[in-house]
Amino acid sequence: MNELKVGTRGSKLALVQTESVVEMLRNIYPHIRFSIHVIRTTGDKVSDLPLQRLKGKGFFVKEIETALLDGRIDIAVHSMKDMPTSIVDGLTIAAVCMRLDPRDALVLRGEGEDGYVWEDASLSIIPNGAVVGTSSLRRKAQLLHLRPDLVIKHLRGNVDTRLRKLDEGQFDAIVVAAAALERLNLNHRITALLPIHVCTPAAGQGALAVEARSDDKRTLELIKPLDDKRARAEVEAERALIAALGAGCHVPVGACARCINDDELEMTAVVASTDGKVVLRRTMRGSLRSARELGEKLAEKLIADGADQIISG
């Protein structure tokens, strides 16, 4: 193989993520030429609406997966949290790359520039009645549960756009994925990293997925060195929980599994009502080798607590 065509979204973050994957592959295979192909997705085209108002799923991956199936590209790089739990027939997740911090980051206007980051901060650092920007129902519900005084306003767009709107005074604070800021070298903007028991992240947050055709054995073998055992186990548990709950982006659901040693996972998951008045959260531990089972068992616990009633609406 002389060339590998890599598909990605065109945002600054997506391109940085894709280039990081390509750079790892270049170091392993210096004789292969890699070309990056930007593909515009539905989620990119409709940037002014909340995702929960769009029909279907896979808003940030569908067009890229079509290009992969058509053979226009050989692999695709995605943010794992954008991927539906059911993979399209004919495709497979060839690698889950080493994961960055999965937590959500709080960015307060006028703060965070000194590089000091609050670890495990409570929401008390947000001023009373503050206007907080986020596009996520999951974040909104968990924030309102602990701080019903907050005014949560819709905020979509790339990371630079969100920070600009914060700096312009449209918001007092915003909440974004810590990993996104890290990849863009914007760690200094982080005011606080929100604890998982305060704001449980989205399933797959902080991880990158490399997708390929399931019958393309040669490419699958090339990508194999990028697969991180721990990251794959964490993501597998989280995605198994989402699948077992039958939840998508229209329901406030979060899941975060972390390897606490070479053999064990600890996983926290949350299901909440959209107004934040009801929040069901549980934590379980399980074997690294049985990640999927851990996710399914934790889903069962949440369903027993009443999660199915919240999800069904």
299, burial (CB in 10 Å: exposed 0-12, middle 13-18, buried 19+): buried
- The length of the chain, given as a count of residues: 313
One of 44, 70, 74, 82 is an active-site residue; which one? 82
Residues 132-152: b if buried by 16+ CB within 10 A, e if exposed: bbbbbbbbbbbbbbebeebeb
Residues 6+ apart with CB under 8 A from 51: 43, 59, 135, 156, 249
Backbone φ, ψ for residue 48 (5° rounding)? -100, -5
Helix residue ranges, H only, 159-267 = 159-167, 178-183, 217-223, 229-245
Give catalytic status of residue 120 as yes or no.
no
Helix (H) / strand (E) element for 23: namely helix 12-28
Residues annotated as catalytic are: 82
